[in-house]
Amino acid sequence: MNWTKFLIAFIAAFVFIFFFGFVWHGILMKSSYMEIASHYRAHDDMQWGPLLLGHGIMALFFTCVYASFVTNGSLGAGAKLGIKIGLIFVGLYFIRFAVEPLTMKILVLGGIGDVLEFALMGAIVGEIYKPSTTNAPGM
């Protein structure tokens, strides 16, 4: 494990997903969320600590998965991993839509946003993180 590159990749991933989430969910999808405002916390009730923590955990363990499972690291390999993880989240959106009264617009835009977000995060991690040794299988 190349810890210096790992740390840089993790921080870059965290900064990216936090700002992507802010733009995608906080600005572009704001009107969609307002259609079912009672389903969400009011602005004053938002939990900013957990919001930051959640993004930090996602960036950290995405970088861990990439560093553990991808040997011939590259922007493309990272993006591919990100797309696959994004598609797991699409599955999770299906499940949430099945049990929570979300709108179709939130399902579609949320799913597209997650695939895009993780693909780009993967590309960033793939571009930055290079293993110090090559003893793990390739992606």
Q: Give min distance, CB of 124 to other proteins, in A.
A: 16
Q: Give min distance, CB of 105 to other proteins, in A.
A: 15
Residue with smaller CB distance to other proteins, 8 or 83: 83
Cα–Cα nearest to 10, from 131, 137, 129, 139: 129
Q: Give min distance, CB of 8 to other proteins, in A.
A: 19
Q: Where are the alpha helices (DSSP H) in 47-102?
A: 48-69, 75-99
Residues that bind other proteins (CB under 8 A): 21, 38-41, 45-51, 53-62, 64-65, 68-70, 80-81, 84-85, 87-101, 137-139
Question: Do 5 and 78 touch, CB atoms closer than 8 A?
Answer: no
Residue with smaller CB distance to other proteins, 59 or 128: 59
C-alpha dihedral (99, 103, 104, 110), degrees to nearest 10: -90
